[in-house]
Copies of this chain bind each other. A is one copy, B any other.
Amino acid sequence: MVSLEYLLHFIDEDAPSGDVTSEAVIPDIRCRAEIVAEQSGIIAGLCEATMLFSHYGVAAEQFAQDGQIVKAGDKLLSLYGDAKKILLVERTALNIIGRMSGIATQTREMADIIYKKNPKCRVAGTRKTCPGFRALDKKAVRLGGGEPHRGSLSDGILIKDNHLVLVPLKKAITAAKKITLYKKIEVEVETPAEALLAASAGADIILLDNMNFGQVKITLDTLMKKGLRDRVIIELSGGIGPDTLRDFAALDVDVISMGALTHTVKNFSVKLEIVPE
């Protein structure tokens, strides 16, 4: 999904003119090393770590697949190659695995909560990702069982509150539908009335933003009564935390998107250890 050049850019960030420590103290030897999980969760980033080590001539064998559950102590990657190359890639690889697995693990937790209440409802990410790491944040959401949502402003139509300050909702939907047959039209609304208007105007997806439980319920009922519920996808977003998630998930909604999946990430703990001969 991501090119080698994309990943090498990270090495360049961590070693713009080489690794002064290893160049000073490490001889020209080959060694073994292992990357090991220090907690349980959904692992991600092993594929990217493998691409990086391989590029530097370090043989990398994966002992788990991205998206799988691992537990503390599990060996994830076994490495063999030039010691300096292993040390060059170490921190970048761990940072990628740590962040991606943190995202995947949190996503799975949310997905599981939702699934228990409503098997037809999904969890989705947002564009609230770390700049420079978007593609991998999105991939991690998918590996955790979530839906990445729009990759960028270029690949999806989402008419938001700030658009609607400048253009009336109906006019915006009409303009969007005129510009493309190929993309779904998503509209963010804040009241049941707006939701109804959006659905009537032909929106494909309606994002109920920051509505409380009661408002969401009214919106769903209204759409149902008007016979519009099945013609739209209903997404919830805004102010839904782990505590309120259960309640919202129990409603007849299709997807709940959460910025926290990628903007407030708990690092997944993982380490690399050189294996003494």
List the interface of chain A (C-beta within 8 A of B).
1-3, 5, 8-10, 12-27, 29, 31, 33, 83, 87-88, 90-92, 94-96, 98-99, 102, 122, 124, 127-136, 138, 142, 147, 149-160, 162-163, 165-167, 171-172, 175-176, 178-184, 186, 205, 233, 254-255, 259-260, 263-267, 272-276
Q: Shortest beta-carbon distance, A256 to chain B, in Å? A: 11
Q: Is the interface of A mostly helix, strand, loop or mixed?
A: mixed
Residue of B nearest to A171 (CB): B25
Q: Shortest beta-carbon distance, A17 to chain B, in Å? A: 4
Residue of B nearest to A149 (CB): B182
Q: Shortest beta-carbon distance, A84 to chain B, in Å? A: 10
Q: Are B155 and A181 in contact, with the CB atoms below 8 A? A: no
A102–B184 CA distance with the chains assembled, in angstroms: 30
CB-CB < 8 A to A99: which residues of B? Answer: 130-131, 263
Q: Are A267 and B264 in contact, with the CB atoms below 8 A? A: yes
Residue of B nearest to A136 (CB): B131
8 contacting pairs across A/B (C-beta < 8 A): A20-B157, A23-B179, A92-B131, A95-B127, A95-B130, A155-B156, A156-B182, A264-B265
Tell me how many chains of this kind the complex includes.
Answer: 6
CB-CB < 8 A to A184: which residues of B? Answer: 182-184
Residue of B nearest to A180 (CB): B147
Q: Are A15 and B159 in contact, with the CB atoms below 8 A? A: no
A151–B26 CA distance with the chains assembled, in angstroms: 20
Q: Which of B9, B92, B150, B264 contacts A266 (CB 8 A)?
A: B264
Q: Are B274 and A267 in contact, with the CB atoms below 8 A? A: no
CB-CB < 8 A to A142: which residues of B? Answer: 179
A160–B266 CA distance with the chains assembled, in angstroms: 24
> Most B CB atoms within 10 A — which of A24, A127, A138, A171?
A24
Q: Are A128 and B165 in contact, with the CB atoms below 8 A? A: no
A88–B23 CA distance with the chains assembled, in angstroms: 28
Q: Shortest beta-carbon distance, A89 to chain B, in Å? A: 10
Residue of B nearest to A1 (CB): B18
A152–B266 CA distance with the chains assembled, in angstroms: 23
Given contacts A20-B153, A150-B182, contact A134 B260 (CB under 8 A): no
> Most B CB atoms within 10 A — which of A2, A27, A154?
A154
